[in-house]
Structures are given as C-alpha cells and as structure tokens.
Amino acid sequence: MAKIVLDRLNERFTAGEILETGSQHGNEWARVAPAAWRQVAEFLRDDPALQLNMFVDLTCVDRMPREPRFDVVLHLYSIDNKYRVRLLAGVSEKQAVIDTLVPVWPGANWFEREAFDMYGVRFEGHPDLRRILMYPEFQGYPLRKDYPKEKRQPLLRRLPGSV
C-alpha cells in the first residue's frame, strides 16, 4: 500500500542505516540502525513526497533472548497521502539507549516516557524522562519478559510484627 515509503527510504539512506525493509499484512516496515533513528524520522516527516508528519505510536518489544534484546517501534502516518510506516530499531539490554524524538514530534514525549517506564529503554535528550504509569518508587521494568507477572511491590510495606 505504501511501498513508496520504503523505496524513498532505500533511495535516501545507505544499507548501513536502513537495515531491512518488508511488508506484512498490509503494513510496511523498515528496520533502522539506532544511530540513524532521529535522522530517518526527520526525513520522513519533512520529505515532500511522503509527508509522514503524524506521530501515531511509539512502543517497545522485548524479544528476549534475541540480541539486541529490545526493539523500539514507531508508527507514522501521513494525513494527506494516507501512507503508514512502522520503524523498528534494535537496542541491546546493556546499551538500552536511543535518541529521543521529542524535538521531531512533541507528542513523542509521553510515549517515550511510557516505553522507558515499561521497558527501561532510555531516550537520549528527552526533556523529562520520568515514569508515567508506574509510581516513582517502583523497582524494575514491568513489561520486560523476565519481570514475573505475579511479582508484587506494595507501596506501603508492613513492618515486621505489625498486623
């Protein structure tokens, strides 16, 4: 449906920046090198042929035990052209950092905070990288696959000996 987006990406960027592209169930996707993340996002937003200027969604996927473990996933849309694309960038557990997209789309702010909150991926240059859904005292990253579903972290703990 929006093959043109992938063609434009492959035209503009080298194979070291756009690692892989594909299409499945009518969704076009491109795997981006983390170093080129912001550059690719800016290109897609500003390219007059594409105008993928609408920020739709940003999240992470934990693909444990694959390495790099996490994928940061971005969905974009063009209101005028009705194109859509999904960008993925792999980040490892040890170096779970990627450039922020807040300067590109202000709406990325809360979505990146959520990705950080749930997966512990840090967004370099984010103006306010706090937890958003969990409370500040929360330990760990709940949507990681190695975080047990049944684990409880009560905010108020009972002192030993109290009823």
Catalog residues that contact other proteins under the rule CB under 8 A: 24-27, 29, 53-57, 59, 61-62, 73, 75, 79, 82, 84, 86, 105-107, 109-111, 114, 118, 131-135, 142-143, 147, 149
User: Please, are residues 31 and 48 in contact by the beta-carbon 8 Å criterion?
Assistant: no
Tell me how far apart the terminal alpha carbons of the chain are, to the nearest angstrom.
62
Q: Which is nearer to other proteins, 27 or 35 (CB)?
A: 27
Of the candidates 72, 48, 83, the one whose C-alpha atom is nearest the C-alpha of residue 121 is 72
Going by the DSSP 8-state scheme, the letter that residue 140 receives in this structure is S
Q: Which is nearer to other proteins, 35 or 133 (CB)?
A: 133
User: Please, are residues 97 and 80 in contact by the beta-carbon 8 Å criterion?
Assistant: no
Shortest Cβ distance from residue 159 to other proteins (Å)?
26
Shortest Cβ distance from residue 117 to other proteins (Å)?
8
Shortest Cβ distance from residue 146 to other proteins (Å)?
12
Q: Which is nearer to other proteins, 11 or 150 (CB)?
A: 150
Pair of tokens at residue 36? 């080129």
Q: Which is nearer to other proteins, 35 or 127 (CB)?
A: 127
Report how far residue 92's alpha carbon sits from residue 144's, in angstroms, rounded to the nearest whole number: 13
Shortest Cβ distance from residue 51 to other proteins (Å)?
9
Shortest Cβ distance from residue 151 to other proteins (Å)?
10
Of the candidates 139, 111, 140, 144, the one whose C-alpha atom is nearest the C-alpha of residue 126 is 111
**H or E, element range at 24:** strand 18-24
Q: Which is nearer to other proteins, 33 or 73 (CB)?
A: 73
